[in-house]
Every structure is written in C-alpha cells, then in structure tokens.
C-alpha cells in the first residue's frame, strides 16, 4: 500500500525534493556525493522552465517538455555521460513521486537515456604499476609521509579499493586473519584478502607515523594528524605521472582498474573479480575483458614477426 503524503500542489517543489533526497539517503543508502549530484541534476531540470515547478505542473509535463529540456542540455555540449545521469536523476524523482502516491506522469517513462560512449578503464601494465608504487615513497620530503603514500597506493592496487574506501579505514579494521571488510557503494560490505606485501607496507607506515594511532582512529593521517584527504593522493599521482611520463588518465582509480585487469590476465574468473571489486552488476566487471583484449592486441602487434616487415 502506497504511503500518503500531503503537500501543497501549488507550492514550489523544494519540500518534495528535500523529502526525495532524504529517502534516497535513508532508504537507498546513497552516498553524500551521489545525493549532491542528484540535487544538482534536478536543479538544472527545474531551472530550464521559466516558472517554478509545482506538484501540479510536474504532473502536467508532457513528452515535449522533457525532450525540450534534453535538447537544451545537449546544445550546451554536455557529455553524454553527464546528460544520462541528469535524465536518470529526473526519472528517479518521478519514480519516487509515483511510489509515494503523489503523481503519476506517464510521459517520463517514454524518455530513454542517451547511449553512453564505451570508455574502457585505463589500466597500467605490471611494470608501470610497480614503477608507480616504487616512486610513491620518494615524492614527499618527510620519510613517514613517503611510507604512508606507498602504503596507500599499495593498498589500492593490492586490494582493488576505491580511494574513498582506503582512506575511510580505521586502525583495527585489518584483523589478524589478513581479511579486510570493506563497506563500499550502496552500503554493501565485501571481503577482500590482504596480501603480505600490503600488510608489510601498512605496518612499516604505522611504525614510522609520528602520531599515536589508537583503535578506532583514522589509519592514514595527514601532516597535521587529521584523516588523510583524497586530494593529497590525487596530487601525489599527478607528480608521479609527471616524473614517469604517464598520461593524465592515471589516477588513484587506475590502480583499482589495474588490479582487476591483472587478475583477469592471470586467469581469475569474472565472478570472483566482481565480488572483490564490489560491483553490483557483472556487466560493469565485464569491461575488463575488453581491456584485456585491447592489451593482447597491442602485444600481438608489437611482438609478431609480420609486423616488422
């Protein structure tokens, strides 16, 4: 049975949007980053119309209104991925309105998302990966910060973590069984095995850290003892890219891509990689098959004798 919510049908949609975002946070467990994106997307949709949208006007929007908005956004040369996300946000809002028995607008169901360009994840090869990991320790002037940076990057590559996941770790999260429990997107928990090389890097950093690390404290600390910011690691990768002559696509997330690509190259099945990465859909993980094929093509053309004729 649908929940009844009373709103003023002629009032602006601010109260509706606030409740929708709260529902996404509380019921769907969306991250603050995703909620901010959804709020911005719907703000762009609302701003397209000359008069403020109300509940009544939302119900009256027809297919021409939605297509006019999409055309206007496309005319601004917005990337297809961004436009697809905006449309997805708007559709999500209308689904919530229907779920809460507020309005039903059949026109929004006709709108389809633009086809996203197929972009393969940028992964490092094995030699490049080790060059990056080895370089990390020598970028910062303070020795303990270099050991911290090496530990973070080794963790990203050794466990396939997102940067947000690695930097959210607290002292004590790594148990004696060498198992890491990670809470990722959608508040889903996954188990990732820890390699001895990763544990060694983390232990070396902990022993060198000038701050007292107590259970429950942030594991990776910044220069002033605060939880380490992702921007520090992003800037670190920028310096490493410059020194090694690597492309701009080599970001902290590229180490996660490299983890998955290298596991696939060694024969790990896609289902296992899906579990290790915490992907909700196997389709997302299958992108790494395409990466591996592209890598094989490059190696083939580089090594085959006929290419040298």
Q: Catalytic positions, please? A: 162, 185, 253, 256, 279, 288
Query: For the chain, how long is the longest CA-to-CA vector?
Result: 76
- Strands of the chain, DSSP E: 179-183, 189-193
Q: What is the DSSP letter of 287?
A: H
d(CA 248, CA 265): 24
Q: Are 114 and 62 in contact (CB under 8 A)?
A: no
> 296: exposed, middle or buried (C-beta count within 10 Å: 0-12, 13-18, 19+)?
exposed
> 78: exposed, middle or buried (C-beta count within 10 Å: 0-12, 13-18, 19+)?
middle
**Would you mind telling me the total number of residues written for the chain in this entry?**
309
Residue tagged 């995703």 (tokens): 34
């Amino acid at each position: 049975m649908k929940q009844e919510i009373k709103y003023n049908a002629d009032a602006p949609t601010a109260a509706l949007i606030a409740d929708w975002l709260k529902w996404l946070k509380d019921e769907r467990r969306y991250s603050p980053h995703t909620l901010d994106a959804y709020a911005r997307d719907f703000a762009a949709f609302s701003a397209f119309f000359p008069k403020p949208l109300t509940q009544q006007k939302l119900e009256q929007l027809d297919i021409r209104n939605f297509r006019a908005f999409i055309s206007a956004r496309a005319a601004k040369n917005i990337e297809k991925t961004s436009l697809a996300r905006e449309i997805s946000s708007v559709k999500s809002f209308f689904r919530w309105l229907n779920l809460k028995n507020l309005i039903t607008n059949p026109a929004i169901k006709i709108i389809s998302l633009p086809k996203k360009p197929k972009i393969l994840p940028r992964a490092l090869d094995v030699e490049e990966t080790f060059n990056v990991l080895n370089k990390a320790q020598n970028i910062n002037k303070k020795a303990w910060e270099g050991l911290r940076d090496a530990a973070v990057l080794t963790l990203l590559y050794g466990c396939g973590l997102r940067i947000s996941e690695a930097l959210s770790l607290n002292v004590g999260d790594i148990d004696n069984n060498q198992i890491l429990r990670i809470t990722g997107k959608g508040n889903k928990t996954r188990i990732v095995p820890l390699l001895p090389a990763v544990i060694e890097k983390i232990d070396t950093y902990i022993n060198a850290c000038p701050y007292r690390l107590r259970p429950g404290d942030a594991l990776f600390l910044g220069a002033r003892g605060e939880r380490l910011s992702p921007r520090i690691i992003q800037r670190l990768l920028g310096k490493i890219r410059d020194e090694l002559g690597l492309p701009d696509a080599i970001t902290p997330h590229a180490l996660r891509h490299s983890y998955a690509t290298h596991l696939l190259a060694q024969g790990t099945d896609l289902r296992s990689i899906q579990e290790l990465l915490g992907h909700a859909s196997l389709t997302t993980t299958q992108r790494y098959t395409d990466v591996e094929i592209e890598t094989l093509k490059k190696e083939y053309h580089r090594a085959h004798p006929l290419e040298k004729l």
